[in-house]
Structure 1
């Protein structure tokens, strides 16, 4: 391939540029030959670690790993600065990324992470948000009271707060029998699996939205909690008109103790981020938000689990159990399980292992 001519102002004749290109190629080859042995050794060590973890690595290789990683990283920096050939640059870039993950990346597999998460990590993250949980709980109770009072003052507020379809009998003016019919159990389980999937999607969307809105200093998260709980307050007002509050509470408790707890934690997680941004203390705003985000993310992983449990409870036990006492037993048991796990079950991480959260 013919080399292009250099411009006149470059100061060299065309035939004088060729030795420079040859020298560059020679320097590139020499650079690679001097370091290729270390690169290949690092590549072999990383490959064995990717396939079998630390068990396949000799002690000498394990000790040499950090030094080999630094050599490869330094070589990559030199390669980028001196514009070495693209193949060498791509190889070093991939090798440094793989080695970084093995040197500095997480040492915990998914099974171990899940075990540590369930056996203490999740509950510790929830307890770290105790102030935000208290604020969110107060807002949810206040929202329920507001919904009740608004509907009691003007029935039009009921239709603004509660979405009603054309065939929904849960509306002002409904008879006791009509409202009782909405609380009755189903005769069969057909279609309940699809119903559970739909409920999981709806509940998770509310929780994720409450968490995601926390970046605006937590205010939208609190407003979302007020809106959702105002709907519950309006329903309680409606059923109280026919003296059916106990029956409605039993019907809701089957899944509600899990679902509302999950919504509470999601709102608290969003509020935690917003509060950390508004009051970062001695830390920078971004640093405080990042630390709060890591704690809140652990809580949100658990909230997804709670939403799955709530959807299954809402689709199956709530639709199949027709006894008020039985429904209260299921709901009360789930509430006791969550409270015990979050606030009574305290397992500290082993020294040197860190926290799964």
Structure 2
């Protein structure tokens, strides 16, 4: 028997008990998660890991047999990921994002959310009063694509009919409508966010322009005695959709903050930090836009009672405010 084999055999005999113990703990973590370990085992885990790394270093230094080296390398790698790797499952990651990271990010950006809301509201009020005074402003505020045939030239009865005659639309058409709305609204939100790095100016303009469209659209119906009707029609999805677009705008302003006010960090480093927070908000906003598209294409077209429409819209607004306000503040207070 060669000296290297004898060395390897003696080396393994003196240390194998600790390796096997570490291997057992690693296998438990891989199968059941780190929470399956007892307090004593959790205490032992890092010590056994360091001992195995030390054994691997010695084994390499004295050129022990290749099989032993491969065993120790693999065991050390597995143990590393068990100790330092991500332990959450996909479901756990999603759960953590929805119940912790997203509401905390929105609450942290609450003043930018408020500012974005005011920008949209100012645009809506300006467009509303301009259009009420002169319907020609409608053509300036609302493009042909957005108007979809609903213009000052439309008869009042046609405008009313469009608000209530959706119940006979089949599911396939509604699916297509929902897909189109989701794509359009997501694009608006993404532009509001992505252009934030340009000192926030394009974000201001996009949010303000969305307010102009909304205000002019409402004014057209209000001028025909359909103000309550259009408010209910918009309510069922608008409280979710507009909130999502506002969040995208707030996220864009977060990027602007990263460029304008870097503090002690470099602008690039601060932009990366703010971008990470803003990215969480945008992911949440996209999910909200998906909900809004479903509400618009299905709920709004099938539910034609004004009270029911206001009730659904109001409940959705309360839900979002409670979600971001209560959970967000609670998560921020923990940190």
Q: Give the TM-score range, shorter chain.
A: 0.7 to 0.9
Q: Is the 8 A contact 1:255 1:310 kept in 2?
A: yes
Give unmatched runs, 5+ long, in structure 1. 1-25, 78-86
> Alpha-carbon deviation of 1:306?
1.6
> Alpha-carbon deviation of 1:136?
0.8
Q: TM-score, normalised by structure 1?
A: 0.70
Q: Does 1:305 align with 2:291?
A: no
Choose from 251, 257, 263 the match for 2:245: 263
Q: Is the 8 A contact 1:185 1:321 kept in 2?
A: no
Rounded to whole Å, the distance in 1 between the matches of 2:74 and 2:202 is 43
> Alpha-carbon deviation of 1:132?
0.8
Choose from 49, 53, 62 the match for 2:33: 53
The structure-2 alpha-carbon separation of the partners of 1:224 and 1:68, relative to structure 1 and needing over 3 Å to count, comes to: farther
Choose from 286, 303, 310 the match for 1:328: 310
Rounded to whole Å, the distance in 2 between the matches of 1:71 and 1:185 is 74
Query: Which residue does the alignment assign to 1:124?
Result: 104
Moved more, 87-96 or 209-218: 87-96
Q: Is the 8 A contact 1:254 1:318 kept in 2?
A: yes
Choose from 201, 204, 212 the match for 2:183: 201
Rounded to whole Å, the distance in 2 between the matches of 1:217 and 1:71 is 53
Query: Which residue does the alignment assign to 1:214?
Result: 196
Query: Which residue does the alignment assign to 1:84?
Result: none
- Which protein shows a greater Rg? 1
Q: Is the 8 A contact 1:120 1:347 kept in 2?
A: no
SS class of match (1:163): helix
Q: Is the 8 A contact 2:138 2:217 kept in 1?
A: no
Alignment of 1:231-310 (within 5 A): 231-310=213-292
Deviations 1:223-257 (A, max 9, x none): 22123222222312322332322211110111001
Rounded to whole Å, the distance in 2 between the matches of 1:42 and 1:108 is 21
Query: Which residue does the alignment assign to 2:114?
Result: 134
Deviations 1:319-353 (A, max 9, x none): 012222322222122212222332245663599xx
Give unmatched runs, 5+ long, in structure 2. 58-66
The structure-2 alpha-carbon separation of the partners of 1:284 and 1:321, relative to structure 1 and needing over 3 Å to count, comes to: same
Rounded to whole Å, the distance in 2 between the matches of 1:205 and 1:267 is 12
Query: Which residue does the alignment assign to 2:64?
Result: none
Query: Which residue does the alignment assign to 1:190?
Result: 171
Q: TM-score, normalised by structure 2?
A: 0.74
Q: Does 1:174 align with 2:154?
A: yes
Rounded to whole Å, the distance in 2 between the matches of 1:209 and 1:94 is 46
Larger fraction in helix = 2
The structure-2 alpha-carbon separation of the partners of 1:324 and 1:284, relative to structure 1 and needing over 3 Å to count, comes to: same
Rounded to whole Å, the distance in 1 between the matches of 2:193 and 2:144 is 23
CA RMSD of aligned residues (A): 4.3
